[in-house]
Structure 1
Protein backbone atom coordinates (compact mmCIF):
# COMPACT_ATOMS: atom_id res chain seq x y z
CA UNK A 1 0.00 0.00 0.00
CA UNK A 2 2.86 2.38 0.78
CA UNK A 3 4.33 2.01 -2.70
CA UNK A 4 0.94 2.77 -4.28
CA UNK A 5 0.44 5.82 -2.05
CA UNK A 6 3.93 7.05 -2.93
CA UNK A 7 3.12 6.68 -6.65
CA UNK A 8 -0.05 8.75 -6.30
CA UNK A 9 1.73 11.35 -4.14
CA UNK A 10 4.36 11.61 -6.86
CA UNK A 11 1.61 12.06 -9.49
CA UNK A 12 0.09 14.86 -7.38
CA UNK A 13 3.34 16.81 -7.88
CA UNK A 14 2.69 16.70 -11.63
CA UNK A 15 -0.80 18.21 -11.38
CA UNK A 16 -0.74 21.85 -12.37
CA UNK A 17 -3.06 23.01 -9.59
CA UNK A 18 -2.62 24.22 -6.03
CA UNK A 19 -5.81 22.38 -5.05
CA UNK A 20 -5.79 19.03 -6.87
CA UNK A 21 -8.62 16.54 -6.47
CA UNK A 22 -7.90 12.83 -5.98
CA UNK A 23 -10.78 10.36 -6.32
CA UNK A 24 -10.35 6.84 -4.89
CA UNK A 25 -12.77 4.05 -5.78
CA UNK A 26 -12.84 0.32 -5.17
CA UNK A 27 -15.09 -2.34 -3.77
CA UNK A 28 -15.79 -2.63 -0.08
CA UNK A 29 -12.72 -3.75 1.85
CA UNK A 30 -10.29 -2.95 -0.98
CA UNK A 31 -8.34 -0.57 1.27
CA UNK A 32 -9.67 2.82 0.14
CA UNK A 33 -9.88 4.39 3.60
CA UNK A 34 -6.43 3.22 4.68
CA UNK A 35 -4.99 4.28 1.33
CA UNK A 36 -6.59 7.74 1.58
CA UNK A 37 -5.26 8.27 5.10
CA UNK A 38 -1.79 7.20 4.02
CA UNK A 39 -1.98 9.58 1.06
CA UNK A 40 -2.95 12.44 3.39
CA UNK A 41 0.08 11.62 5.56
CA UNK A 42 2.36 11.62 2.50
CA UNK A 43 0.78 14.60 0.75
CA UNK A 44 3.56 16.26 -1.25
CA UNK A 45 2.29 19.83 -1.14
CA UNK A 46 2.50 22.35 1.69
CA UNK A 47 -0.56 22.95 3.78
CA UNK A 48 -3.63 20.98 4.59
CA UNK A 49 -5.45 18.46 2.42
CA UNK A 50 -9.15 17.70 2.92
CA UNK A 51 -10.47 14.15 3.06
CA UNK A 52 -14.10 13.19 2.50
CA UNK A 53 -15.15 9.54 2.95
CA UNK A 54 -18.33 8.45 1.19
CA UNK A 55 -19.11 6.21 4.20
CA UNK A 56 -20.19 9.49 5.80
CA UNK A 57 -22.42 10.40 2.84
CA UNK A 58 -24.19 7.20 1.74
CA UNK A 59 -27.83 7.40 2.89
CA UNK A 60 -28.03 3.85 4.26
CA UNK A 61 -27.34 0.37 2.95
CA UNK A 62 -29.17 0.91 -0.34
CA UNK A 63 -27.61 4.30 -1.04
CA UNK A 64 -24.40 3.71 -2.99
CA UNK A 65 -25.50 5.56 -6.16
CA UNK A 66 -27.34 8.26 -4.20
CA UNK A 67 -24.29 8.85 -1.99
CA UNK A 68 -22.03 9.23 -5.01
CA UNK A 69 -24.41 11.75 -6.59
CA UNK A 70 -24.59 13.63 -3.30
CA UNK A 71 -20.77 13.79 -3.20
CA UNK A 72 -20.67 14.99 -6.79
CA UNK A 73 -23.21 17.76 -6.33
CA UNK A 74 -22.30 18.85 -2.77
CA UNK A 75 -18.52 18.42 -2.76
CA UNK A 76 -16.95 17.93 -6.18
CA UNK A 77 -18.92 20.40 -8.31
CA UNK A 78 -18.60 23.29 -5.83
CA UNK A 79 -14.86 22.58 -5.45
CA UNK A 80 -14.43 22.65 -9.23
CA UNK A 81 -16.34 25.94 -9.45
CA UNK A 82 -14.22 27.51 -6.70
CA UNK A 83 -17.04 27.83 -4.18
CA UNK A 84 -17.43 26.31 -0.73
CA UNK A 85 -19.15 22.95 -0.80
CA UNK A 86 -21.27 21.81 2.12
CA UNK A 87 -22.23 18.24 2.89
CA UNK A 88 -24.09 16.70 5.79
CA UNK A 89 -22.92 13.50 7.44
CA UNK A 90 -25.31 10.56 7.26
CA UNK A 91 -26.22 9.39 10.75
CA UNK A 92 -26.53 5.63 10.23
CA UNK A 93 -28.17 5.06 13.63
CA UNK A 94 -30.86 7.71 13.11
CA UNK A 95 -31.25 7.25 9.36
CA UNK A 96 -30.98 10.94 8.53
CA UNK A 97 -28.52 13.67 7.66
CA UNK A 98 -26.69 15.22 10.62
CA UNK A 99 -24.13 18.02 11.09
CA UNK A 100 -22.80 19.98 8.13
CA UNK A 101 -19.19 20.11 6.94
CA UNK A 102 -17.61 22.64 4.59
CA UNK A 103 -15.13 21.90 1.81
CA UNK A 104 -12.74 24.75 1.02
CA UNK A 105 -12.21 25.05 -2.74
CA UNK A 106 -8.76 26.60 -2.26
CA UNK A 107 -7.43 23.42 -0.62
CA UNK A 108 -6.58 20.05 -2.14
CA UNK A 109 -9.24 17.36 -1.79
CA UNK A 110 -9.27 13.58 -1.55
CA UNK A 111 -12.62 11.82 -1.85
CA UNK A 112 -12.81 8.07 -1.32
CA UNK A 113 -15.62 5.56 -1.53
CA UNK A 114 -17.21 2.69 -3.39
CA UNK A 115 -18.96 3.77 -6.57
CA UNK A 116 -17.07 7.07 -6.86
CA UNK A 117 -15.57 6.77 -10.35
CA UNK A 118 -18.34 7.40 -12.84
CA UNK A 119 -18.32 9.23 -16.18
CA UNK A 120 -19.69 12.33 -14.40
CA UNK A 121 -17.33 12.34 -11.39
CA UNK A 122 -14.21 11.42 -13.38
CA UNK A 123 -14.36 14.83 -15.06
CA UNK A 124 -13.95 16.43 -11.62
CA UNK A 125 -10.85 14.51 -10.48
CA UNK A 126 -7.28 15.38 -11.39
CA UNK A 127 -6.12 11.91 -10.33
CA UNK A 128 -8.46 8.93 -10.25
CA UNK A 129 -7.45 5.77 -8.42
CA UNK A 130 -9.01 2.31 -8.62
CA UNK A 131 -8.12 -0.10 -5.80
CA UNK A 132 -8.80 -3.81 -5.90
CA UNK A 133 -8.15 -6.85 -3.74
CA UNK A 134 -9.24 -10.49 -3.85
CA UNK A 135 -12.77 -11.01 -2.52
CA UNK A 136 -11.72 -13.05 0.56
CA UNK A 137 -9.26 -10.33 1.63
CA UNK A 138 -11.80 -7.58 1.00
CA UNK A 139 -14.51 -9.36 2.96
CA UNK A 140 -12.18 -10.09 5.88
CA UNK A 141 -11.03 -6.45 6.02
CA UNK A 142 -14.55 -5.03 5.77
CA UNK A 143 -16.00 -7.31 8.43
CA UNK A 144 -13.02 -6.74 10.75
CA UNK A 145 -13.54 -3.00 10.34
CA UNK A 146 -17.34 -2.87 10.61
CA UNK A 147 -18.08 -6.12 12.43
CA UNK A 148 -21.45 -7.76 12.73
CA UNK A 149 -23.22 -4.53 11.77
CA UNK A 150 -22.04 -5.01 8.18
CA UNK A 151 -22.23 -8.80 7.91
CA UNK A 152 -25.96 -9.01 7.00
CA UNK A 153 -25.51 -6.27 4.37
CA UNK A 154 -22.40 -7.60 2.57
CA UNK A 155 -24.31 -9.16 -0.37
CA UNK A 156 -26.74 -6.25 -0.61
CA UNK A 157 -23.86 -3.76 -0.87
CA UNK A 158 -21.90 -6.01 -3.25
CA UNK A 159 -24.90 -6.05 -5.62
CA UNK A 160 -24.78 -2.24 -5.81
CA UNK A 161 -21.04 -2.40 -6.46
CA UNK A 162 -21.67 -4.95 -9.24
CA UNK A 163 -24.18 -2.55 -10.82
CA UNK A 164 -21.64 0.28 -10.58
CA UNK A 165 -18.92 -1.84 -12.20
CA UNK A 166 -21.23 -2.82 -15.07
CA UNK A 167 -22.70 0.64 -15.69
CA UNK A 168 -19.78 2.96 -14.96
CA UNK A 169 -16.64 0.92 -15.74
CA UNK A 170 -14.64 2.68 -13.02
CA UNK A 171 -11.32 1.10 -14.00
CA UNK A 172 -11.66 2.75 -17.41
CA UNK A 173 -11.81 6.18 -15.72
CA UNK A 174 -8.84 5.55 -13.40
CA UNK A 175 -5.50 7.20 -13.99
CA UNK A 176 -3.90 4.61 -11.68
CA UNK A 177 -4.96 1.12 -10.54
CA UNK A 178 -3.54 -0.98 -7.74
CA UNK A 179 -4.26 -4.40 -6.30
CA UNK A 180 -3.76 -4.44 -2.54
CA UNK A 181 -3.43 -7.81 -0.87
Structure 2
Protein backbone atom coordinates (compact mmCIF):
# COMPACT_ATOMS: atom_id res chain seq x y z
CA UNK A 1 0.00 0.00 0.00
CA UNK A 2 1.36 3.43 -0.94
CA UNK A 3 1.77 6.24 1.58
CA UNK A 4 -1.19 8.08 0.01
CA UNK A 5 -3.31 4.95 0.38
CA UNK A 6 -2.28 4.64 4.02
CA UNK A 7 -3.09 8.30 4.61
CA UNK A 8 -6.51 7.88 3.00
CA UNK A 9 -7.25 4.80 5.10
CA UNK A 10 -6.25 6.62 8.28
CA UNK A 11 -8.42 9.61 7.38
CA UNK A 12 -11.34 7.31 6.67
CA UNK A 13 -10.93 5.46 9.94
CA UNK A 14 -10.55 8.67 11.96
CA UNK A 15 -13.62 10.30 10.41
CA UNK A 16 -15.83 7.26 10.78
CA UNK A 17 -14.70 6.34 14.28
CA UNK A 18 -15.30 9.86 15.52
CA UNK A 19 -18.82 9.85 14.13
CA UNK A 20 -19.53 6.37 15.49
CA UNK A 21 -18.35 7.33 18.96
CA UNK A 22 -20.73 10.27 18.91
CA UNK A 23 -23.57 8.05 17.74
CA UNK A 24 -22.85 5.46 20.42
CA UNK A 25 -22.84 8.07 23.18
CA UNK A 26 -26.08 9.63 21.97
CA UNK A 27 -28.08 6.41 21.85
CA UNK A 28 -29.63 4.68 24.85
CA UNK A 29 -29.89 1.45 22.81
CA UNK A 30 -27.72 -0.20 20.21
CA UNK A 31 -26.54 2.45 17.75
CA UNK A 32 -27.89 2.16 14.20
CA UNK A 33 -25.69 3.13 11.24
CA UNK A 34 -26.91 3.27 7.63
CA UNK A 35 -24.44 3.25 4.72
CA UNK A 36 -25.76 4.33 1.30
CA UNK A 37 -24.32 5.34 -2.04
CA UNK A 38 -24.18 4.16 -5.65
CA UNK A 39 -23.20 0.67 -6.73
CA UNK A 40 -19.49 -0.03 -6.52
CA UNK A 41 -18.73 2.87 -4.19
CA UNK A 42 -17.43 0.61 -1.41
CA UNK A 43 -20.40 0.31 0.96
CA UNK A 44 -19.80 -3.35 1.77
CA UNK A 45 -16.12 -2.79 2.47
CA UNK A 46 -16.83 0.21 4.67
CA UNK A 47 -19.42 -1.78 6.63
CA UNK A 48 -16.87 -4.57 7.15
CA UNK A 49 -14.38 -1.99 8.43
CA UNK A 50 -16.95 -0.58 10.85
CA UNK A 51 -17.70 -4.03 12.24
CA UNK A 52 -13.98 -4.73 12.69
CA UNK A 53 -13.25 -1.37 14.34
CA UNK A 54 -16.46 -0.80 16.31
CA UNK A 55 -15.61 1.30 19.40
CA UNK A 56 -17.68 -0.64 21.97
CA UNK A 57 -17.43 -4.28 23.15
CA UNK A 58 -20.68 -5.32 21.45
CA UNK A 59 -20.01 -6.58 17.92
CA UNK A 60 -22.52 -4.93 15.55
CA UNK A 61 -25.12 -6.90 13.68
CA UNK A 62 -24.62 -6.44 9.93
CA UNK A 63 -27.45 -6.41 7.40
CA UNK A 64 -26.73 -6.14 3.69
CA UNK A 65 -29.48 -4.74 1.48
CA UNK A 66 -28.54 -7.27 -1.20
CA UNK A 67 -30.28 -9.82 1.02
CA UNK A 68 -33.49 -7.76 1.12
CA UNK A 69 -34.02 -6.70 -2.50
CA UNK A 70 -36.85 -8.81 -3.97
CA UNK A 71 -35.13 -9.12 -7.34
CA UNK A 72 -33.44 -6.58 -9.59
CA UNK A 73 -36.44 -4.23 -9.53
CA UNK A 74 -36.76 -4.37 -5.75
CA UNK A 75 -34.80 -1.33 -4.56
CA UNK A 76 -37.83 0.68 -3.42
CA UNK A 77 -39.59 -2.33 -1.88
CA UNK A 78 -36.51 -3.23 0.15
CA UNK A 79 -35.97 0.37 1.27
CA UNK A 80 -39.56 0.55 2.52
CA UNK A 81 -39.46 -2.82 4.28
CA UNK A 82 -36.19 -1.81 5.95
CA UNK A 83 -37.89 1.14 7.60
CA UNK A 84 -41.16 -0.58 8.38
CA UNK A 85 -39.97 -3.97 9.65
CA UNK A 86 -36.48 -3.31 11.00
CA UNK A 87 -35.69 0.32 11.79
CA UNK A 88 -39.05 1.44 13.21
CA UNK A 89 -39.27 -1.35 15.82
CA UNK A 90 -35.63 -0.81 16.81
CA UNK A 91 -36.26 2.90 17.31
CA UNK A 92 -39.01 1.94 19.76
CA UNK A 93 -36.64 -0.42 21.60
CA UNK A 94 -38.31 -3.54 20.17
CA UNK A 95 -36.83 -6.38 18.13
CA UNK A 96 -36.89 -5.73 14.42
CA UNK A 97 -36.48 -8.09 11.53
CA UNK A 98 -35.96 -8.57 7.83
CA UNK A 99 -36.79 -11.26 5.31
CA UNK A 100 -34.02 -12.69 3.15
CA UNK A 101 -34.60 -12.85 -0.60
CA UNK A 102 -33.61 -16.12 -2.24
CA UNK A 103 -32.04 -14.94 -5.48
CA UNK A 104 -31.68 -18.45 -6.89
CA UNK A 105 -35.32 -19.36 -6.29
CA UNK A 106 -36.70 -15.88 -6.93
CA UNK A 107 -38.76 -16.05 -3.74
CA UNK A 108 -38.85 -14.83 -0.15
CA UNK A 109 -36.79 -16.80 2.32
CA UNK A 110 -36.21 -16.92 6.06
CA UNK A 111 -37.10 -14.24 8.60
CA UNK A 112 -34.21 -12.80 10.61
CA UNK A 113 -34.62 -11.10 14.00
CA UNK A 114 -32.39 -8.19 15.08
CA UNK A 115 -31.68 -7.49 18.75
CA UNK A 116 -32.43 -3.84 19.69
CA UNK A 117 -29.81 -3.91 22.46
CA UNK A 118 -26.93 -4.50 20.05
CA UNK A 119 -25.48 -2.09 17.47
CA UNK A 120 -26.63 -2.47 13.88
CA UNK A 121 -25.04 -1.56 10.56
CA UNK A 122 -27.13 -1.67 7.38
CA UNK A 123 -25.31 -1.18 4.09
CA UNK A 124 -26.68 -0.87 0.59
CA UNK A 125 -28.54 1.26 -1.90
CA UNK A 126 -31.81 2.55 -0.48
CA UNK A 127 -30.93 2.75 3.21
CA UNK A 128 -31.04 6.57 3.50
CA UNK A 129 -34.54 7.19 2.23
CA UNK A 130 -36.19 10.15 3.93
CA UNK A 131 -38.36 7.92 6.11
CA UNK A 132 -35.40 5.78 7.18
CA UNK A 133 -32.76 8.37 8.00
CA UNK A 134 -34.40 9.72 11.20
CA UNK A 135 -34.58 6.17 12.54
CA UNK A 136 -30.77 5.84 12.59
CA UNK A 137 -28.06 7.37 14.76
CA UNK A 138 -25.71 7.92 11.83
CA UNK A 139 -26.13 7.96 8.06
CA UNK A 140 -23.07 7.67 5.82
CA UNK A 141 -23.09 8.45 2.09
CA UNK A 142 -20.24 7.35 -0.16
CA UNK A 143 -19.31 9.19 -3.36
CA UNK A 144 -17.02 7.67 -6.00
CA UNK A 145 -16.09 8.23 -9.62
CA UNK A 146 -18.77 6.74 -11.92
CA UNK A 147 -16.34 4.86 -14.17
CA UNK A 148 -14.42 3.46 -11.21
CA UNK A 149 -17.46 2.26 -9.34
CA UNK A 150 -18.94 0.56 -12.43
CA UNK A 151 -15.63 -1.21 -13.01
CA UNK A 152 -15.63 -2.30 -9.35
CA UNK A 153 -19.20 -3.57 -9.46
CA UNK A 154 -18.81 -5.53 -12.69
CA UNK A 155 -15.45 -6.97 -11.65
CA UNK A 156 -17.12 -8.14 -8.45
CA UNK A 157 -20.36 -9.56 -9.86
CA UNK A 158 -19.62 -10.13 -13.55
CA UNK A 159 -22.35 -11.01 -16.01
CA UNK A 160 -25.05 -11.29 -13.34
CA UNK A 161 -24.85 -7.55 -12.76
CA UNK A 162 -23.75 -6.42 -16.21
CA UNK A 163 -27.03 -7.54 -17.78
CA UNK A 164 -29.00 -5.57 -15.18
CA UNK A 165 -26.74 -2.52 -14.78
CA UNK A 166 -28.86 -0.06 -16.81
CA UNK A 167 -32.10 -1.09 -15.09
CA UNK A 168 -30.56 -0.91 -11.62
CA UNK A 169 -28.86 2.43 -12.29
CA UNK A 170 -32.13 3.90 -13.60
CA UNK A 171 -34.01 2.76 -10.48
CA UNK A 172 -31.23 4.12 -8.28
CA UNK A 173 -31.29 7.52 -10.00
CA UNK A 174 -35.06 7.76 -9.49
CA UNK A 175 -34.54 6.88 -5.82
CA UNK A 176 -31.90 9.63 -5.49
CA UNK A 177 -34.12 12.21 -7.22
CA UNK A 178 -37.06 11.36 -4.98
CA UNK A 179 -35.43 10.70 -1.60
CA UNK A 180 -32.27 12.90 -1.69
CA UNK A 181 -30.32 10.33 0.35
CA UNK A 182 -27.05 12.27 0.18
CA UNK A 183 -28.74 15.16 1.99
CA UNK A 184 -29.97 12.73 4.65
CA UNK A 185 -26.43 11.64 5.59
CA UNK A 186 -24.57 12.94 8.60
CA UNK A 187 -21.23 11.95 7.08
CA UNK A 188 -20.31 12.17 3.38
CA UNK A 189 -17.10 10.54 2.13
CA UNK A 190 -15.61 10.67 -1.36
CA UNK A 191 -13.78 7.35 -1.57
CA UNK A 192 -12.69 7.52 -5.21
CA UNK A 193 -8.99 7.40 -4.31
CA UNK A 194 -9.35 5.42 -1.10
CA UNK A 195 -8.44 1.78 -0.62
CA UNK A 196 -11.87 0.25 -0.20
CA UNK A 197 -12.26 -3.19 -1.74
CA UNK A 198 -15.23 -4.26 -3.81
CA UNK A 199 -16.76 -6.45 -1.09
CA UNK A 200 -19.10 -9.43 -1.56
CA UNK A 201 -22.36 -7.61 -2.33
CA UNK A 202 -24.42 -7.98 -5.49
CA UNK A 203 -25.25 -4.30 -5.90
Tell me the TM-score normalized by structure 1: 0.95
Aligned to 2:149: 138
Aligned to 1:34: 45
Residue pair 1:10, 1:44 contacting (<8 A) in 2 also: no
Runs of 4+ in structure 1 displaced over 3 angstroms?
A: none
What secondary structure is seen at the aligned counterpart in 1 of 2:126?
coil
Gaps of 5+ in 1: none
Displacement after TM superposition at 1:71 (Å)? 1.1
Larger Rg: 2
Aligned to 2:97: 86
Aligned to 2:158: 147
> Where in structure 2 are the equivalents of 1:84-123 lying within 5 Å?
84-123=95-134
Displacement after TM superposition at 1:109 (Å)? 0.7
Once the two structures are superposed, residues 129-174 of structure 1 have per-residue CA deviations (whole angstroms, 9 ceiling, x without a partner) of: 1001111111111111111111010010000111011111111111
Once the two structures are superposed, residues 18-60 of structure 1 have per-residue CA deviations (whole angstroms, 9 ceiling, x without a partner) of: 4111111001111100110011111011112111110000000
Once the two structures are superposed, residues 56-108 of structure 1 have per-residue CA deviations (whole angstroms, 9 ceiling, x without a partner) of: 00000001010111111121111111111121210111111112211000011
Tell me the TM-score normalized by structure 2: 0.85
Aligned to 1:162: 173
Displacement after TM superposition at 1:6 (Å)? 3.3
